[in-house]
Amino acid sequence: MDLQPLKDRFGATTAEPINLGCSDATVVRLERGTEVLYYKAGPGTTAEADRLGWLGTTDIPCPRILDRGEEWMLTSVLAGRDASQPWSASERPAVLAAVADGIRQLHALTECPFDSPYPGSRGAVTHGDYTAPNVFVDPATLRFNGLLDVSRLGLGDPYIDFALMHRSLAGPLNPQYGGQSAARDFVVLAGGNPDDPLLTHFTNLGVSGNY
């Protein structure tokens, strides 16, 4: 990918493609003076920008939209490190608790102009792609610091997010947390029941997302 046109367009001095997510989106980290910006483009980015704009009106920390257009957006950097990054063994329990705290905060919201694309109850604002790389933690305090990748955010069933993060933590990409038992701990900390059939229901529905 030729990144020069993107640098010229936004006056950036550096451009680094990000391959962390596994969606079809193009994500590029840009530096402009002392600013760090993220460019995202691809199917679903218009829907994401709409949802991110709304989320920015709540108390949940998230990137700010600086500019947007047809299926692209430019956002401010979300501070912190995402939960899929390596954390030390002594930090991991607090990071797991922060990941649970983040989704509790989002689920506590009950009004939202968007509907989840997934079937089920409609009692909470759900993220719809709640996986480790989409949750940010403050490395100094080890507290929840915000979330991103919100193209599937909307009123839905909290077990959508429990199932996504359970799979993310139990799967092969995030072994640092301890696999299946950490995934169950997350569900409990997040306010759910790891034996609720809804967990496997949503996992089997094939909820898509980045692990």
Ligand X SMILES: Nc1ncnc2c1ncn2[C@@H]1O[C@H](COP(=O)(O)OP(=O)(O)O)[C@@H](O)[C@H]1O
Give the interface size with ligand X as a residue count (CB under 6 A): 18
Phi, psi for 51 (deg, rounded to 5):
-70, -40
| Cβ-based nearer residue to Mg ion, 58 or 210 | 210
In terms of C-beta density within 10 A (0-12 exposed, 13-18 middle, 19 or more buried), how is residue 47 classed? Answer: middle
Q: Which stretch binds ligand X (CB under 6 A): 75-83, 86-94, 152-160, 188-196?
A: 75-83
Residue 30: CB partners within 8 Å, gap ≥ 6?
6, 7, 10, 12, 14, 15, 16, 36, 37, 38, 39
Least spacing, CB of residue 78 vs ligand X, in Å: 4
18 scored as a contact of ligand X (CB under 6 A): yes
- Residues making contact with Mg ion (CB under 5 A): 21, 134, 149, 210
| Cβ-based nearer residue to Mg ion, 168 or 176 | 168
Each residue 150-189 as x (binds ligand X by CB under 6 A) or -, in order, gives ----------------------------------------
50 scored as a contact of ligand X (CB under 6 A): no
| Three-class DSSP labels, 76-143 | ECCCCEECCCCCCCCCHHHHHHHHHHHHHHHHCCCCCCCECCCCCCCCEEECCCCCHHHEEECCCCCC
| Cβ-based nearer residue to Mg ion, 134 or 145 | 134
| Cβ-based nearer residue to Mg ion, 97 or 164 | 164
Residue 138 has a CB neighbour count (10 Å cut-off) of 15
Phi/psi class of residue 179: alpha, beta or left (left: φ > 0; alpha: ψ in -120 to 50)? Answer: left
205 scored as a contact of ligand X (CB under 6 A): no
Q: Of 80-99, which residues contact ligand X (CB under 6 A)?
A: 82
Taking CB within 5 to 8 Å according to partner kind, which of ligand X, Mg ion, none is near residue 38?
ligand X
In the bound state, the residue with its beta carbon closest to ligand X is: 21
Binds ligand X by CB under 6 A, chosen from 12, 15, 25, 52: 25
**How many Å apart are CA 96 and CA 117, to the nearest integer?**
26
38 scored as a contact of ligand X (CB under 6 A): yes
Binds ligand X by CB under 6 A, chosen from 116, 134, 145, 168: 134
75 scored as a contact of ligand X (CB under 6 A): yes
* Both structure tokens of 147: 């979330």
User: Which residue in 155, 179, 173, 157 sits closest to 209, CA to CA?
Assistant: 173
